[in-house]
Structure 1
Amino acid sequence: MGRTLSYKLVIVAIILLGINMLHFYNFLIFHSIVELYCIAVAIAVFTLVWNLRDQINHTFVLVVGVGYLYTGLFDFIHILTFEGMNVIPLTESHFDVDSWLIARYIESISILLAVILQKFKVNVKLDFLISVYLVISIMIFYITFINDHIPNGYISGSGITQFKIMNELIICVFLGLTILILSMNKKLLKKNTLVYTMIALVLTLLSEISFMFFSNKSDWIFILGHNIKVLSYFFTYSAISTVVIMERRIDQDICKHSHWL
């Protein structure tokens, strides 16, 4: 764990250094690359779970895998609607913040739900999870972007609103609750997975806190929050891949044992 993790962290540090240098050249490029990196990791998490779904019998992994797929979807909408991108003609400037909040809600609730279901040993089917998340996502998309019934989270020229701050606090509560449950139930996950998950959760919490205090989208604290997000996604992938690898090894061992019998 130690040496491999160190190598990976060095690679991530180099990536972050390069991305942050871009910030001084073009903020929109910096933001887009950070978000695309996180989306790529989210898709990788789901792909890992999907490709090995027949060998995985771990509720935590299944829920997090599906949750991150839909988190990545709304993060992609966040990029497209981000102020200054001009990819989609918009009459409102708050859609990027709305999609950001939705993605963070899906992420934080998914991890909390995954931990709770794992604690109570509730088995779930991957197809069922995908269908439920799809229906909920369509409803949220319609309410937020079609009917536009969500209060403004950001006002151009004024900054973030109390609505966004309040929702960031709620998301922080979900993350804090997940950390608390895992701290009190350390046997829910294997040691390496628990360590990676806890680090990812703490980093995600710090990232969310930073996004409650920026006044404009080029503030240093806004940049810091995105750097922390990159690190949190790195540890999330490490946590999920660790479980998947262990589950696969167990499945292979069972097959070998059955073959010898």
Structure 2
Amino acid sequence: MERNSEKSSTRWSFIAFTVLLAALAATSLYNYLLFHIITELVAVGIAIAVFTVAWNARTMQENSYLLVAGTGLLFVAVIGLVHTLAYDGMGIFVGYDANLPTQLWIASRYLLAGTFLAAPLLVRKNPAPLRVFAGFAGIAGALLLSIFVVPVFPDCYIEGSGLTPFKIASEYVIAALLALGLVAVYRLRDAFSPRVVHHLIAALIVLMASELAFTLYISVYGIQNMIGHLLMVLAYGLIYIAFVETGIRQPYAVIFTGLTSSEERLRREKERLGQYLDIAGAFFVVLDRDGRVALINRRAAKVLGCPADEAVGEPWAERFVPPAERDRCRGIFLGLMQGETGENEYAKTSVLTADGGERIIAWHNTVIQDDDGAVCGTLSSGEDITERQHAEEALGRANAKLHLLSGITRHDVLNQLTVARAYIDFAAEDIEDSAVRDYLGRARSAVEEIQRQIEFTRDYQDMGVKEPVWQRPADLIRESVAELGLLAAVRVDLGDLEIYADPMVKKVFSNLIDNAVRHGGHVTEIRFSCVRSGPDLLILCEDDGIGIPEGEKEAIFRETYKRRYGHGLFLVSGILGITGMTIRETGVPGEGARFEVRVPNGGWR
């Protein structure tokens, strides 16, 4: 609608100026002096109108082009008015011939061309309005003084021979200056609205044509002079549309030019942001302080089955959350608005789709603040985890069944092993044959080995069942020392270190301590410390025992090594591997064992 109104107003303005030009052309055939007076007064009136708009808007303008152009046009109008009064046949300036109005004309044209050249050059400098006014007043005064008081201004017209070479050359120079002003405006076109730029460029082109027409006449009443004046009126008409009409109808296009460009940049940035959000595979939802949708990306709208423009303005909880979860959803939103970001930063909720279905979304929530730091809304990015959630629940149910089955089986097997061991003991008491007693002893050892293996499966099946969590190794080590009741000193130098590990990671430190005591010889001290290794972190466990032989440094972590020393280090390696940690032994045999647990970047803090 705004664009149509703009086109309509431009069309009516051109119709009005077309009628005016036709009327002026007809007037020139009747009385050329009257024609000249009207054309000059039209130009003077438009120039004064431009100055009026520019001067009254001087404190609101975001670039100085309109101020400089409007002020310059005012003084062009002053000299133009004197030129009109001095025109041949007016009889106001006694003792002067047609040279005076021609001199005044050239003076006003130089000032006009200089104005349109200076305005774009000063557009970013923002000179003070009074300095601009004083500068143009001084230039206009100097030009008038050079013509009337100190007659040093070159002659421009000689009766009987016509235009002087200075006058003709000046018209070409003025046309060249206008061309430079046109180029400067084109280079600064982004500082104005397209409507202003197009009319201003057209005005400068017509002014150049007008100047060239004024190089051809011999008589001040000749047809070339008339054409030049008509072109001048057309140019001023274009200037009127560019600055006066547009300045009143669309002040942002002339006065608040920075606002226009800022709005355009904001619009482009908004469109680019919208494209980024639409490309992203995640949900993005912005809620205002009332819990209504302020922004939603294409992915979220597609899953909800609701177009983005329809979703905006809707209350999120009432429209897109299942009834059973609405109170919880409102609680999360209220907590965020009250600054409880930490508690509600991550949340898993269901959303209601247009077809009545439900999807499970994992949200990352944060708050949006205004310039004063007050919370004015929330931004949530989410991921559709419906299928993953169902798969995890199915896997959890399957694991629960397996745990139940293995627990029952293990319990029954251990019971039977207890019975078998008892019968072996009973049989050994009544048998005196040493060979048979030896066989029974070996059978008992086999039963004990089976029992150890069954008990190991209980620890091994618990690995990875629960989600990893952040844990403090220092606390876990102290708990392990207390449970083991050690005589050896355990020194812990890990500070506030936390690692992201399986909940069973406590068995890692318990096994390392127990192994040092059991197999390290006369160990008197066990030391835990940490050191950076690039982006990773090394947790060190060192003792002063006999160490690990070179040939067994890798073998101790294998499952087959259990026949001699149990499953401890094999279990340690498995627990650490769940979250990407590794372990190796780097000690010097004879000087003590040294275990290095490498925690990858992101897995420690």
- TM-score over 0.5 for the alignment? yes
Tell me the distance in 2 between the aligned counterparts of 1:38 and 1:93.
21
| 1:59 lines up with 2:61 in the alignment | no
Tell me the distance in 2 between the aligned counterparts of 1:20 and 1:53.
37
Deviation of residue 243 (structure 1)?
A: 5.0
Please point out which of 189, 196, 207 is paired with 1:186. 189
SS at match of 1:230: helix
Q: Is the 8 A contact 2:48 2:74 kept in 1?
A: yes
| 1:134 lines up with 2:137 in the alignment | yes
| 1:73 lines up with 2:78 in the alignment | yes
Please point out which of 152, 157, 160 is paired with 2:155. 152
SS at match of 1:140: helix
Q: Is the 8 A contact 1:207 1:225 kept in 2?
A: yes
Q: What is aligned with 1:87?
A: 92
Tell me the distance in 1 between the aligned counterparts of 2:183 and 2:201.
10
- Judging changes above 3 Å, is the alpha-carbon distance between structure 1 residues 181 and 37 closer, same or farther for their aligned structure 2 residues? same
SS at match of 1:152: coil
| 1:175 lines up with 2:156 in the alignment | no
Q: What is aligned with 1:106?
A: 111
Matches within 5 A, 1:1-261: 1-118=6-123, 121-241=124-244, 242-243=246-247, 245-246=251-252, 247=255
SS at match of 1:178: helix
Tell me the distance in 2 between the aligned counterparts of 1:220 and 1:135.
35
Task: Give the residue type in structure 2 aligned to 1:87.
Answer: I
Tell me the distance in 2 between the aligned counterparts of 1:11 and 1:91.
37
Structure 1 residue runs without a partner (length 5+) = 252-261
SS at match of 2:154: coil
Q: Is the 8 A contact 2:157 2:164 kept in 1?
A: yes
Tell me the distance in 1 between the aligned counterparts of 2:142 and 2:220.
28
The structure richer in helix per residue is: 1
Deviations along 1:215-251, one digit per CA (max 9) or x if unpaired, are 1122222111111111100111222233561136969
SS at match of 2:152: coil
Q: Is the 8 A contact 2:120 2:188 kept in 1?
A: no
Tell me the distance in 2 between the aligned counterparts of 1:91 and 1:12.
34
Task: Give the residue type in structure 2 aligned to 1:53.
Answer: R
Q: Is the 8 A contact 2:79 2:104 kept in 1?
A: yes
Tell me the distance in 2 between the aligned counterparts of 1:91 and 1:226.
22
Amino-acid identity (%): 25
SS at match of 2:122: helix
Q: Is the 8 A contact 1:193 1:243 kept in 2?
A: no
Tell me the distance in 2 between the aligned counterparts of 1:14 and 1:238.
16
Tell me the distance in 2 between the aligned counterparts of 1:25 and 1:93.
21
Tell me the distance in 1 between the aligned counterparts of 2:55 and 2:173.
30
> Which aligned runs of 4 or more in structure 1 are off by greater than 4 angstroms?
248-251
Tell me the distance in 2 between the aligned counterparts of 1:108 and 1:60.
14
Task: Give the residue type in structure 2 aligned to 1:63.
Answer: V
Task: Give the residue type in structure 2 aligned to 1:180.
Answer: V
Tell me the distance in 2 between the aligned counterparts of 1:173 and 1:91.
30
Tell me the distance in 2 between the aligned counterparts of 1:238 and 1:115.
19
Deviations along 1:78-102, one digit per CA (max 9) or x if unpaired, are 1111111111213343110111011
Task: Give the residue type in structure 1 aligned to 2:157.
Answer: Y
Structure 2 residue runs without a partner (length 5+) = 1-5, 261-605
If the length of structure 2 is used for normalisation, what is the TM-score?
A: 0.40
Tell me the distance in 2 between the aligned counterparts of 1:140 and 1:151.
11
Tell me the distance in 2 between the aligned counterparts of 1:106 and 1:100.
10
Q: Is the 8 A contact 1:182 1:188 kept in 2?
A: no
Q: Is the 8 A contact 1:168 1:212 kept in 2?
A: yes
